[in-house]
Amino acid sequence: MDTTAQVAVIGAGAAGLAAAWRLAGHTAAITVLEAASSPGGNCTALDVRLPGHAPCSIDVGVSDFNAATFTRLVDLLAQLGVAAAPIAQDAAFVDDDGQTRLSSRDGVWTGDAAIVAEIQRFSQTCTQPGAMPPGAGWSLARFCRSHGFDPAFVRTYLGPRARGCFAMPGGDVGAFELPALVAFWRAHGLVGRSTPPPRMAVVGGMSRWCEAMQRALALRGAQVRCDTIVVALERTHRGVVLTTRGPGGITVARFDHVVLAVPPRAAAALVGFDRALQRAVLDVPTQRAEVVVHTDARVMPRDRARWGAYNYVVTDRALAGPSMTFYPKRLRRLADDAPDVFVTLGPDRALDPGRVLARRWFDHPCATAAHAAAAVRLSTMQGRHGLWWCGSHLRAPFLHEHAIESGEAAAQAVLDRLAQREAPRSIAASA
């Protein structure tokens, strides 16, 4: 193993941190370069301080996981000594007048009994072996038609839930590709299990594990440099040269290998020198969406007793994109004196500007058939120019777990490449 190799990881989201953790201790120098002021990427939090309420930290991105699917994350949390706790999974399906058409509280559904029965039937049917034979193009509408699902169930429950998970681009819910949605819901335990695993969150917010990882990496000699954006990447005969803009100004440094753990759009901006590679990155389909942290309760059910941890939009309006609202106080079971703050992804209506606390934009991958082909194409380019690829956008369904897995896999590929380089030298030395 070449222990003098210099390796950079661009992006300190779950994928980049997992890659750095796998590399740390094996090569001489690991440098993680992160544009934001703290590590975590989509594991990001907002500290909220409102008069008359206890201060609290609100997740503005990743909110939950479960121990059945997220085994790598659970392992990392154990290594880092970071605690997690079950969250509330209550959901509300709210129409344009604020009326709750359907809701669940502590696992008990309230609403039209026929729709509730359809939820159970869908959960079992969609996960049965052979339910959606490959190659047949199973849209949500086609599957529901062929299994005779009640249109009221599709309008009130299935469509809003599908629109709320961001796996599909906006538009006609009936055209959504159902196998990808089912894979996503299965990973979260929402379909196919009679006793789903409890959904969990890191105590204090999902960004906590990323902060703990930053400290653990420092103990292993790796640097995580935040507020440092990689503005240019150049391939030279001596390696990869990165230009960064950070607190100390512009810096130029050379690396033997670079792991790109950034969303496709950001990665594509750096690899313009290889048009085929840039095309392959841009072919990974994503959609841009907004997340708004606010106190405008008009997005919630009128009946406060029905406020869910997850709130979905029931409407016949043509929505520009996916939409849903988290209610972190309920989701994370925060104390009574925590404020009523809402996190709306892709707001479906104008929010009161005076009640908006923060806005951010994110790129979410779309789990269409085009994605599967693009991810395969990009994975065949691993290691080209000393560049390695990872991120949840490479593995549908787009979970935190898959970001970690892909980061670990990219790091292992770098280590394998370094070991291959070392092997001939070791043989020569012993001859």
Ligand X SMILES: Cc1cc2nc3c(=O)[nH]c(=O)nc-3n(C[C@H](O)[C@H](O)[C@H](O)COP(=O)(O)OP(=O)(O)OC[C@H]3O[C@@H](n4cnc5c(N)ncnc54)[C@H](O)[C@@H]3O)c2cc1C
Residue 65 interacting with ligand X (CB under 6 A) = yes
Residue 281 interacting with ligand X (CB under 6 A) = no
Minimum gap (Å) between residue 199 Cβ and ligand X = 9
Phi-psi region of 37 (alpha: psi -120 to 50; beta: other; left: phi over 0): alpha
Minimum gap (Å) between residue 244 Cβ and ligand X = 7
Contact 261, 391 (CB under 8 A): yes
Strand order, beta sheet including 324-326: 108-111, 100-105, 91-95, 310-314, 324-326, 342-345, 286-294, 356-365
Q: What are phi and psi of 215, to 5 degrees?
A: -70, -40
How many residues sit in the footprint of ligand X (CB under 6 A)?
Answer: 35
Residue 11 interacting with ligand X (CB under 6 A) = yes
Quickly count: other Cβ atoms within 10 Å of residue 277's Cβ: 20
Rank residues 42 and 311 by Cβ distance to ligand X and give the closer one: 42
Rg (CA), the chain: 23
Residue 347 interacting with ligand X (CB under 6 A) = no
Rank residues 274 and 422 by Cβ distance to ligand X and give the closer one: 274
> Site for ligand X (CB under 6 A): which residue of 345, 387, 413, 414?
345
Contact 104, 119 (CB under 8 A): no
Residue 62 interacting with ligand X (CB under 6 A) = yes
> Site for ligand X (CB under 6 A): which residue of 12, 144, 222, 411?
12
Those residues whose C-beta lies under 8 Å from the C-beta of residue 82, and which sit 6 or more positions away, are 202, 203, 208, 209, 212
> Site for ligand X (CB under 6 A): which residue of 14, 140, 190, 200?
14
Residue 159 interacting with ligand X (CB under 6 A) = no
Closest alpha carbon to 185 in 14, 366, 399? 399
> Site for ligand X (CB under 6 A): which residue of 27, 31, 63, 156?
63
Pairing of strands 29-33, 286-294: unpaired
Residue 364 interacting with ligand X (CB under 6 A) = yes
Pairing of strands 91-95, 310-314: parallel
Binding to ligand X (CB under 6 A): which residues in 369-408? 391-392, 398-400, 403
Rank residues 230 and 413 by Cβ distance to ligand X and give the closer one: 230
Rank residues 142 and 377 by Cβ distance to ligand X and give the closer one: 377
Binding to ligand X (CB under 6 A): which residues in 36-55? 36, 41-43
Those residues whose C-beta lies under 8 Å from the C-beta of residue 88, and which sit 6 or more positions away, are 106, 309, 330, 331, 332, 333
Minimum gap (Å) between residue 70 Cβ and ligand X = 7
Write out the two tokens for 358: 């923060």
Residue 263 interacting with ligand X (CB under 6 A) = yes
Q: Which range touches ligand X (CB under 6 A), out of 45-53, 255-263, 308-316, 333-341?
A: 255-263
Q: Which range touches ligand X (CB under 6 A), out of 5-13, 98-106, 279-287, 327-335?
A: 5-13
Q: What are phi and psi of 273, to 5 degrees?
A: -70, -15
Which residues in 300-315 are b (16+ Cβ under 10 Å) and which e? bbeeeebbbbbbbbbb
Minimum gap (Å) between residue 106 Cβ and ligand X = 20
User: Would you give the binding string for ligand X spanning residues 284-303, x where CB under 6 A is met?
Assistant: -------x------------
Residue 348 interacting with ligand X (CB under 6 A) = no
Rank residues 143 and 389 by Cβ distance to ligand X and give the closer one: 389
Binding to ligand X (CB under 6 A): which residues in 191-250? 229-230
Write out the two tokens for 33: 């370069």
The structure tokens 């796996």 sit at 167
Residue 411 interacting with ligand X (CB under 6 A) = no
Rank residues 288 and 302 by Cβ distance to ligand X and give the closer one: 288
Those residues whose C-beta lies under 8 Å from the C-beta of residue 168, and which sit 6 or more positions away, are 162, 176, 177, 180, 181, 322, 366, 367, 368
Residues in contact with ligand X by the rule CB under 6 A: 10-16, 33-36, 41-43, 61-65, 229-230, 261-263, 266, 291, 345, 362, 364, 391-392, 398-400, 403
